[in-house]
């Protein structure tokens, strides 16, 4: 049975859940529960207002109330809000994290739909990337979100693609190195570097050192809009292009092609539209970054004027596809 349109448009429950995640109510209540007054004392909230929030979360099935003691405790559903929950979704809900903060820009979706410009910048006064560059706390939470995104998929990406064909790989915009580290573990003859902005490059170098990969892995601080480290056998773009409009995406692809020389490859890993990325994610990309989810055909067409031709398409993880591009041979 379909939900009524008003229920679909309800904001009370999603915002109540996000506030609960931000205040850490599931952690503070624990398995034994706590009263509204106790939770207010722990979080600095207003006890009467927090009690009303908790009552709604009980209605939503996120918390349960013991009427005799007045103690609220998270249900199995509510336990997913804990920072240590295996689902790892708290960074996507916490309003103070990069993911949760970005989601709130949906409140200004009308701005995007009427102007075509990202609502994020309209709401916060600067674009998403400038925002996380200016706020180290946001940058750390964004890197943690990327870790969560790839925690199961990075080993699959490493195992389901022929990385051993490429003795040296540059992971362009590779964050703190979670994907490249898995590739190097699975393919001992491969070497690689992450290229990303300085805070992420430092985190990648630390990851490689902790994993015993420092002899085969490095990190280069820089932007993927600048010239790439030349001469690698493959340039990896994992979850990068969908963050950008076509003009910026072509700049990134062109930079990789120029660095690759005649024999290198560019490997694009993305959740394809309708094959891992639905309409809601496509709308988020537009609202947050001005980016978009693309089909394999759209990515192939995007790469063609950059001097790249599609060589192979491989499903590498649930909801993610690798498109391997070769450098187009020049006539004559």
pLDDT in tens, 205-241: 999 999 999 999 999 999 999 999 999 999 999 999 9
Catalytic residues: 242
Q: How far out from the chain centre does Cα 36 lie?
A: 34
pLDDT at residue 142, rounded to an integer: 87
Distance in angstroms (rounded) separating the CA atoms of residues 241 and 235: 13
Helix, strand, coil percent content, the chain, rounded in steps of 5: 50, 20, 30
Ramachandran bin of 61, using left for φ above 0, alpha for ψ from -120 to 50, beta for the remaining angles: left
Distance in angstroms (rounded) separating the CA atoms of residues 228 and 70: 60
pLDDT at residue 287, rounded to an integer: 96
pLDDT at residue 332, rounded to an integer: 46
| Phi and psi torsions of 228, nearest 5° | -85, 155
Share of residues in the chain with pLDDT > 70 (%) = 99
Tell me the domains of the chain and their CATH numbers.
Answer: 5-81 (1.10.10.10), 90-146 (1.10.287.1350), 152-327 (3.40.50.150)
Q: 3-class SS at 284? A: helix
Ramachandran bin of 264, using left for φ above 0, alpha for ψ from -120 to 50, beta for the remaining angles: beta
Q: 3-class SS at 243? A: helix
Residue 325, both tokens: 């591009």
Residue 316, both tokens: 């590498």
pLDDT at residue 46, rounded to an integer: 97
pLDDT at residue 39, rounded to an integer: 98
**pLDDT at residue 79 greater than cutoff 60:** yes
Give tens-digit pLDDT for 124-153. 999 999 999 899 899 888 888 887 778 889
Give tens-digit pLDDT for 105-114. 999 999 999 9
Per-residue pLDDT, averaged over 78-98, amounts to 91
Distance in angstroms (rounded) separating the CA atoms of residues 217 and 19: 40
pLDDT at residue 145, rounded to an integer: 83
Distance in angstroms (rounded) separating the CA atoms of residues 63 and 19: 13
CB 149 within 8 A of CB 156: no
CB 192 within 8 A of CB 170: yes
CA angle 102, 87, 172 (to 5 degrees): 55
Residue 91, both tokens: 């960074």
Q: What is the overall mean pLDDT for the chain? A: 94
Distance in angstroms (rounded) separating the CA atoms of residues 230 and 262: 11
Give tens-digit pLDDT for 163-201. 999 999 999 999 999 999 999 999 999 999 999 999 889
């Amino acid at each position: 049975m379909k939900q009524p349109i008003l229920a679909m448009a309800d904001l009370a429950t999603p915002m109540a859940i996000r506030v609960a995640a931000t205040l850490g109510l599931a952690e503070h209540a624990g398995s034994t529960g706590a009263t509204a007054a106790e939770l207010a004392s722990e979080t600095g909230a207003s006890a009467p207002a927090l009690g009303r929030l908790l009552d709604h979360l009980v209605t939503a099935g996120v918390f349960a109330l013991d009427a005799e003691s007045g103690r609220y405790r998270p249900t199995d559903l509510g336990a997913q809000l804990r920072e240590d929950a295996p689902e790892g979704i708290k960074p996507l809900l916490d309003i103070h994290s990069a993911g949760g903060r970005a989601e709130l820009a949906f409140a200004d979706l009308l701005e995007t739909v009427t102007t075509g410009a990202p609502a994020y910048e309209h709401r916060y006064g600067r674009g998403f990337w400038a925002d996380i560059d200016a706020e180290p706390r946001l940058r750390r939470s964004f890197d943690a979100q990327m870790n969560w995104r790839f925690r199961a998929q990075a080993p699959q990406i490493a195992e389901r693609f022929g990385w051993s064909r490429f003795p040296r790989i540059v992971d362009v915009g590779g964050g703190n190195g979670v994907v490249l580290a898995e590739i190097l573990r699975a393919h001992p003859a491969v070497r690689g570097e992450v290229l990303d902005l300085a805070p992420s490059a430092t985190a990648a170098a630390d990851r490689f050192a902790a994993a015993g990969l420092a002899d085969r892995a490095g990190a280069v601080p820089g932007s993927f809009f600048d010239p790439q480290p030349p001469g690698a056998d493959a340039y990896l773009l994992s979850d990068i292009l969908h963050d950008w409009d076509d003009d910026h995406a072509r700049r990134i692809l062109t930079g990789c092609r120029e660095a690759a020389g005649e024999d290198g490859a560019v490997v694009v890993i993305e959740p394809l539209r309708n094959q891992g990325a639905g309409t809601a994610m496509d709308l988020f990309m537009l609202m947050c970054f001005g980016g978009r989810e693309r089909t394999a055909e759209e990515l192939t067409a995007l790469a063609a004027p950059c001097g790249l031709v599609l060589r192979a398409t491989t499903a590498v993880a649930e909801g993610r596809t690798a498109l391997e591009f070769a450098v187009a041979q020049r006539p004559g």
